[in-house]
Chains A and B, each alone.
Chain A
């Protein structure tokens, strides 16, 4: 909210890292690498 100092403050909420988001993140990682690797020249070749 606006305060006397003229600053506009917006409170942030925090979400704990949980298994659901980690799982979704891992899926994203796998799919993303396959899709983005060739397109942006990312180096993924070190995974044996």
Chain B
């Protein structure tokens, strides 16, 4: 379903860190899968996968060796950005721990895009999202677990053991929550859009300061199949600036500050509705709720004059971000000069969309905390919790746990709270009451 495929398509499973084992067929054939709350299908490589190298590096399902196999044969395809998993549907029993889900439809993948899954440490993916985003309208494993009466409560929960060495990773619990894995009570928020485990989220704070962008509300998805936290560039840039993360210098952003900075500031100070400012200065058009790009391609590059008069999608977006950044600075009673200097600095810290940002490992202790407002409660992440270390000793590198993802309205602005967040906060997926709960993980 193309309309619903975008989030799944953007997933970077390569960074996923937590895997579990399931069995398919009788006797059970074992597969290592990502338990992914951001998708809803189960797929594993098929023994009929001949032309994808990735299949030769992973376990493959052999239907001929299962006495409970049920032929289906309908073709299936899931898009993942760099290509797609394709194959056909089959049915068989699926073993999850001691439970056996009978007659589960799943995808036998006969083609996997080369680089994406070749190096992957997992064989397949077990989606724990809603049926609404299930490719082929197949009933997800989780629904059959509930339908077949295999669990007491229609709830599952994740505990990621962040402090573990490679090997011991945590636990997924079907049927409830394990009180040993969290402290205090969970804060629950309702699922706002069935499909993903999506809910409404409030402001994001850096240290004690509001970033403003989500003060009026943002959508968020609790996604166990994503490693990092992805959010709007406007906020990630501010985080990057505060933690000294590497970024991309945007000439378009700098051009907006140089040419329109004073004008934007003046409009903010004269109480102009912020969402209308970028259209009023001529960088966007106004669609009734916010500025949208005029849609003219930019001709700006290092050797050309930004004042040539042609504006780009990027300048509209940069203007919209500048408005948010300036609002925050005005709230802090900063002078006009220092505001423009600060925005200019931010223009040098723009994250590459869906990319990584490096930080100085020696500075981690002095970085601010970043907090998310969920259900009127604040969920804080300390720097040692949102900075990931790759490698050991002198070869160690540190990368930010935040990455940029700009999803336009009406679906966005959107945050994807991946393992970095779910590692700190034990997460309950309450299917019966359609809500998601968070409590500090132990």
B18 at the interface (CB under 8 A from A): yes
> B42: shortest Cβ distance to chain A, in Å?
14
In the complex, which range does the number of interface residues on chain A fall in?
35 or more
In the complex, which range does the number of interface residues on chain B fall in?
35 or more
State the CA gap A5–B6 with chains docked (Å).
39
State the CA gap A35–B353 with chains docked (Å).
13
B388 touches A32 (CB 8 A): no
State the CA gap A31–B408 with chains docked (Å).
21
> B422: shortest Cβ distance to chain A, in Å?
11
With CB as the reference atom, state the residue of chain A lying closest to B301. A48
Chain B residue numbers with a CB within 8 Å of A22 are 14-15, 356, 390
With CB as the reference atom, state the residue of chain A lying closest to B9. A36
Chain B residue numbers with a CB within 8 Å of A21 are 14-15, 119-121
> A22: shortest Cβ distance to chain B, in Å?
7
Chain A residue numbers with a CB within 8 Å of B99 are 2, 8
B17 touches A45 (CB 8 A): no
B45 at the interface (CB under 8 A from A): no
Most chain B C-beta atoms within 10 Å of own C-beta, residue among A13, A29, A31? A13
Chain A residue numbers with a CB within 8 Å of B178 are 7, 9
Chain A residue numbers with a CB within 8 Å of B170 are 11-12, 14
> Which residue of B173, B249, B252, B253 contacts A9 across the interface (Cβ within 8 Å)?
B173
State the CA gap A46–B169 with chains docked (Å).
37
B354 touches A8 (CB 8 A): no
B15 touches A32 (CB 8 A): no
B20 touches A11 (CB 8 A): yes
A17 touches B97 (CB 8 A): no
B377 at the interface (CB under 8 A from A): no
A46-B314 contact in complex given A14-B170, A32-B10, A35-B81, C-beta closer than 8 Å = yes
Chain B residue numbers with a CB within 8 Å of A18 are 390
A8 touches B173 (CB 8 A): yes
B185 at the interface (CB under 8 A from A): no
State the CA gap A35–B83 with chains docked (Å).
9
B356 touches A9 (CB 8 A): no
A32 touches B81 (CB 8 A): yes
Chain B residue numbers with a CB within 8 Å of A24 are 14, 115-116, 118-120
User: Which chain B residues in 154-201 approach chain A with CB under 8 Å?
Assistant: 160-161, 164-178
> Which residue of B97, B176, B405, B407 contacts A1 across the interface (Cβ within 8 Å)?
B97
Chain B residue numbers with a CB within 8 Å of A25 are 12, 14-15, 356
Most chain A C-beta atoms within 10 Å of own C-beta, residue among B17, B151, B227, B318? B17
State the CA gap A34–B247 with chains docked (Å).
19
A40 touches B6 (CB 8 A): yes
B251 touches A48 (CB 8 A): yes
B248 at the interface (CB under 8 A from A): yes
B166 touches A15 (CB 8 A): yes
B406 at the interface (CB under 8 A from A): yes
B98 at the interface (CB under 8 A from A): yes
6 A-B pairs whose Cβ atoms sit less than 8 Å apart in the complex: A7-B174, A8-B98, A9-B174, A17-B15, A18-B390, A48-B250
Considering the complex of A and B, which 7 residue pairs feature the smallest CB-CB distances, nearest first?
A14-B169, A45-B314, A32-B81, A12-B169, A25-B14, A8-B174, A2-B98
Chain B positions within 8 Å of A, measured between CB atoms, are 6, 9-10, 12, 14-15, 17-22, 32, 35, 81-82, 96-99, 115-116, 118-121, 150-152, 160-161, 164-178, 227, 233, 248-253, 298, 312-314, 317-318, 350, 352-356, 388-391, 399, 405-408
Chain A positions within 8 Å of B, measured between CB atoms, are 1-2, 5-22, 24-29, 31-33, 35-36, 40-48
Supplied contacts A13-B167, A14-B168, 16 more A-B pairs, CB within 8 Å: A7-B177, A8-B174, A10-B35, A12-B170, A13-B18, A13-B32, A13-B169, A16-B166, A16-B390, A22-B14, A32-B9, A33-B353, A40-B10, A42-B405, A46-B250, A46-B253
